[in-house]
Amino acid sequence: MELETFLNLPTEEVAHIVREAGPKVCVFPINGTRRWLILEYPEAVAENFVQAYLEIVGRRHIELYKLFFDHGIETLLTPVFGPDILVRGEEYNALIRDGLSWFARGQDFMEFYDKYNVRVRVYGDYRRYLEPTPYAEVISDFELLEQRTASQDRYRLLFGVCAHDATETIAAISVNFHQVHGQLPNKREIIIAYYGEYIEPVDFFIGFDKFSAFDMPLVATGNEDLYFTVAPSLYLNTRQLRIILYDHLYERPKGERNYTEMTAEDWAIMRNFYYTNSENTLGIGIYTAGIWYPLPQVELPSKPILNK
């Protein structure tokens, strides 16, 4: 199927194609939220930053979750908070207090979970990091949310909170398992204990800003497709998601071509492309006014190489 055809299909048909390829697990850490909010809603930010963030950014989160689910993605992992947020300063205190539980208490979120039949999990080492802080009460919010949505089974949405390093949590899981069963757990049993249920290996990851794949312990295998948006995550739209899905479904699976079947022209095109970009590196960027911007790194040679 050609890209333009895929881009113009009805959403239901795209979802069918995605599901036909097997259950998909996507990791989508939503980053760059403050700059998106300030750029798109400056008046609301000037009036009340915390309220604007929780209401407007929260609403946009839900829109994006719907976008993924409507396109056939059945399991979505979205890291939302790391321990660094706890030491960002006084101006963040109010945002942290409400922000840690916005997805666990907000009415808009509850209505979304029910309408889309979403089961929610919270994963990560959040107990160890939050219990000694003034935000410890949100732990019970997480527990109640998981209980409330436990029977919902159409989609799965997993929020990562302090999921940056699972080493000590996995060690504790192993020790507890051995005490109960007299043997070490296998990988599947560890995943179930960590996430609350079995999560299949990640299929693709969509990040933003500097190239870095993170907060998906135990389910990252090195085989996941990595994508990085140039604009903040909240700018993601239907066309962009479909381009990513097309690449994931139709381009990445092609793998390497059999070298013995390549013509002299094919080799010449490859050589020309590599020579043209021999000093270019994906992931190179520059800081301007404290913000990292990626620099263009791919130059196509004069002879076309697309659609070969």
- Is there a contact between 115 and 154 (Cβ–Cβ < 8 Å)? no
- Is there a contact between 174 and 190 (Cβ–Cβ < 8 Å)? yes
CA angle 236, 234, 16 (to 5 degrees): 40
For 42-72, how does the pLDDT look when each residue is reduced to its tens digit (9 = 90+)? Answer: 999 999 988 999 999 999 999 999 999 999 9
For 179-192, how does the pLDDT look when each residue is reduced to its tens digit (9 = 90+)? Answer: 999 999 999 999 99
Residue 305: pLDDT band with limits 50, 70, 90: low
Give the Cα separation of 104 and 121 in Å (integer).
Answer: 10
Fold topology of 12-254: Undecaprenyl pyrophosphate synthetase (3.40.1180)
**What's the whole-number average pLDDT of the chain?**
92
Q: Quick count: other Cβ atoms within 10 Å of Cβ 62?
A: 17
Residues sharing a CB contact under 8 Å with residue 197, sequence separation 6 or more, in sequence order = 121, 156
Domain coordinates of the chain in residue numbers?
12-254, 264-308
